[in-house]
Each structure stands twice: as structure tokens, then as C-alpha cells.
Amino acid sequence: MIRLIPDKSAQSVNTEFLTLQQEVQFKRITSDYASFERVSNENQNPMIRRLFA
């Protein structure tokens, strides 16, 4: 799930998270990356940026 937020401040992240939490039931939340996941993530970032540009 990808959300565009105005900035990287804790307040913006928390506000968006609370909004999202009302829409979706979470079982697990993680932002950790294993070394093998980082390459895939870095390859997807340009595609995601193009969607929001």
C-alpha cells in the first residue's frame, strides 16, 4: 500500500497511519528490509515516483 504524504514528519506519518488504520485491518506492520529485499525495493522506487509525479 502506498500513500503520498506532505512530508516526512512524525505528525504527517501518524496522521496518515491513523487514517489508513480506519480503512484497513492490519495484522502486521513492518518497515524492515532484508538485504535481498533492498534491490527489489530500489528498482521499484523510480516506477512509484513516476506515478506520483
Q: Is residue 2 part of a domain?
A: no
Tell how far CA 34 is from the center of its chain.
16
pTM (two decimals): 0.53
Angle at 26 between CA 53 and CA 45, to 5 degrees: 25
Q: Please report which confidence band the pLDDT of residue 44 belongs to, taking 50, 70 and 90 as the band edges.
A: confident
pLDDT at 15 over 90: yes
pLDDT of residue 19: 92
Tell how far CA 17 is from the center of its chain.
10
Q: Is residue 43 part of a domain?
A: yes
Q: Please report which confidence band the pLDDT of residue 4 belongs to, taking 50, 70 and 90 as the band edges.
A: confident
pLDDT of residue 48: 81
Query: What is the total count of domains within the chain?
Result: 1
Q: Is residue 51 part of a domain?
A: yes
